[in-house]
Amino acid sequence: MGYTGVRYTMAKTWFETQLSQALSAGRKRDYRKAVTILENLAARGYAENGDRASGGHPELYLYLARSYHALGNFARAVAYARLYLELRPDDGSGWFFLGRTYLASGTVHRAVFALRTSLEKNPESVDARALLGMAYLKAKKPIIARAVFEEALERDPDNPRLNEGYRNALFIEAIRTYKRGDAEQARQMLTFLINNDIDGVVPRLYLAHTLRDLGYLPEALGEYENAALFSPEDEVLPWYRVAVLLEMGRAPEAHALMAELGAAVEGASAVSPEVVNTTIIRTHLESGQWAKAAQAARVHIRNYGPSAQVHALMGEAQRNLGNVEAAVNHFNRALELDREHPEPYYGILMVFKSERDWEGLCGVANRAERAGCDPALINYYRTLCRANMDTDPAVLLPELQEAVLQIGADPELMEALARTYFRVGLFDLSVGWYDKVLQLEQGNEDAWLGYIASLEQLDDTARRLEAYRGYLALWGDNSGIRRDLVNFLEENEQWEDAADQLEILLGQFPSSGIERQLALYRRKAGQYRKAAILYRSLLRETPDDRSLLSSLVYCLDRMGETESARKLMQSANKAFKPTADSLLIEGRLCVRAKDYQAALVIFRKVVDRFPKDTRGWEEVAHVYDLQGVPEMAATFRQKARDTLNSGKKKKK
């Protein structure tokens, strides 16, 4: 027979074919298809046990981690990356991908740990160094980030990503250097950055600040003009030019520029650099530029000394930045410098209110009253204090109702009213008022918690679930609330959602207990592949756990892998002393595979070894029913009844 032109190659195994299809799907960005194939392979045991042609293939878990990362499911990506690292703890790439996912999900401290471990395993990885540098930047550690980028650039000096990361780290460090008072060092760093494509309004503005502090006024003026070119609509930047022109003695030009800004003055001596700098601070505050306002105030105090007005403005900037202690210190300093004007007390009152320090707020209100602050406003703050302390809610309720009626839609008063309604047991009213607060202040965490608690009392399942999700969308790191959501979903048998939430907790707090609970939820949700993968992982730690083994076998059977489940159970019964339950499971799998003779052999083992267990006789009867032998079935059912009755007589 002549050559037919057929090309002969070694046939691929089923596993190789499936893996090839999964990788092909991944290359085509069809990650859902890739995940389906990969999870099926992992559930069948190929990740750990392999096939006849080779050993285990733990890389399946790594492919799954990368696929889920691409799909944006970071919790599951973390879970699979950790499974991979349990099998390959010394693989730097596994730690790299785990760190990448942690970084993408915002879990920066875990990302740093994973990426540092990756570099320990593979010190030559430029990608790991680049990502570690980014992680340190996100962790607000620019000095360490810069050092990491410098190390990486020694290995790959032309890498554009590394150079960009290095420049970003250097820029943040330059700003901090300037704020520490080292204007010359900051000037050098900013000049380097601008010459290397880190340019824009902020670099130019800070370079101008450094030049001005160093006394290079013409150069500073030029840089303020350059900054304005990047942001021509900024209302503050021209005022910096006014201040520098005045400092240079060029008052006519300064006055002309002020006229353009709509702030013309009469007489050359009517304005000073100090007044202009105060205007700069105010304009920053009016524009909501809190950090710039604080920096301008800091420079003003350094150049012109303490001022009650500027300290008060600095306090307001720090309050809006969330720097509580600094804000209170500056407001108090303003009061020390000018005791005739009590206005800084209003800022202190707002700080204590935002911090929910009700006892402290009460004390400040007393001092503010003595200083001559508005009595109506003082009464408002005292009402809030009483509402959030241990005042009798029945006494407090009419006062709050009247206050809300008089003042209107004030979120703090409305929240206090909602809380009081909750305390007196009027949950339908507390829900409504908490809802109104959230419509005004979606970021009010205490209102969210009160809203959830009220819905729990009303047993409002639908809105409570929506509230949990709304809260966790804003505060996803609150593990206590997420655990409450898991319990709520379990109570309502919403197994898949419960599993997804528990998976997030597992990424935050890895433990075999959570993993086992997750496996149970996946099984109850009918997600047998995912459950089987988890049960295999758990069995690595406790291979003699019969409950885990039974659950894995159940999942395999439900996946249509009855024969695999049967072989697994058979092997387990040979490796460990079999129990009645384990033999019954093996026998039932034989029945599902329609191997009735093998099933009868196993069920008779149950009868012989566990004669008081009626289930063996009942299963034998069931097999004979399936074989169409009713007489034998009836005989063995009678044996089961006799065994049961015999046991009852002995108990008597």
Q: DSSP per residue over 246-283, as a string?
A: HHTT-HHHHHHHHHHTT---SSTTS--HHHHHHHHHHH
28, 461, 504 from 485: Cα distances, Å? 37, 11, 12
Residue 334 has pLDDT above 90, yes or no: yes
Instruction: Determine which of 130-134, 250-254, 305-309, 476-480 has the lowest per-residue pLDDT on average.
Output: 250-254
Average pLDDT over residues 224-252: 91
Residue 652 has pLDDT above 80, yes or no: no
Q: How far apart are alpha carbons 282 and 278 in whole angstroms?
A: 6
Q: Which residues contact 495 (CB under 8 A, 6 or more apart)?
A: 489, 521, 522, 524, 525, 526
pLDDT the model gives residue 301: 92
Q: How far apart are alpha carbons 391 and 295 in whole angstroms?
A: 42
CB contact at 8 A, 447 and 437: yes
Break the chain into its structural domains and give their ranges.
561-652
Cβ of 232: how many Cβ atoms within 10 Å? 9
Q: What percent of the chain has pLDDT over 90?
A: 70
End-to-end CA distance of the chain: 84
Architecture of domain 561-652 in this structure = Alpha Horseshoe (1.25)
Q: How far apart are alpha carbons 518 and 537 in whole angstroms?
A: 12
154, 269, 282, 518, 603 from 568: Cα distances, Å? 53, 95, 75, 22, 17
Report which of 259, 243, 180 is spatially closest to residue 208, judged by C-alpha positions.
243
Q: What is the mean pLDDT of the chain?
A: 91
Q: Which residues contact 118 (CB under 8 A, 6 or more apart)?
A: 92, 93, 94, 95, 96, 99, 125, 128, 132
pLDDT confidence bin for 639, thresholds 50/70/90: confident
392-428 residue pLDDT tens: 999 999 999 999 998 988 999 999 999 999 999 999 9
What b-and-e string marks burial along 528-563, b requiring 16 or more CB atoms within 10 Å of the CB? Answer: bbbbbbbbbbbbeeeeeeeebbbbbbbbbbbbebbe
Cβ of 340: how many Cβ atoms within 10 Å? 7
pTM: 0.82
489-529 residue pLDDT tens: 999 999 999 999 999 999 989 899 999 999 999 999 999 99
463-492 residue pLDDT tens: 999 999 999 999 999 999 999 999 999 999
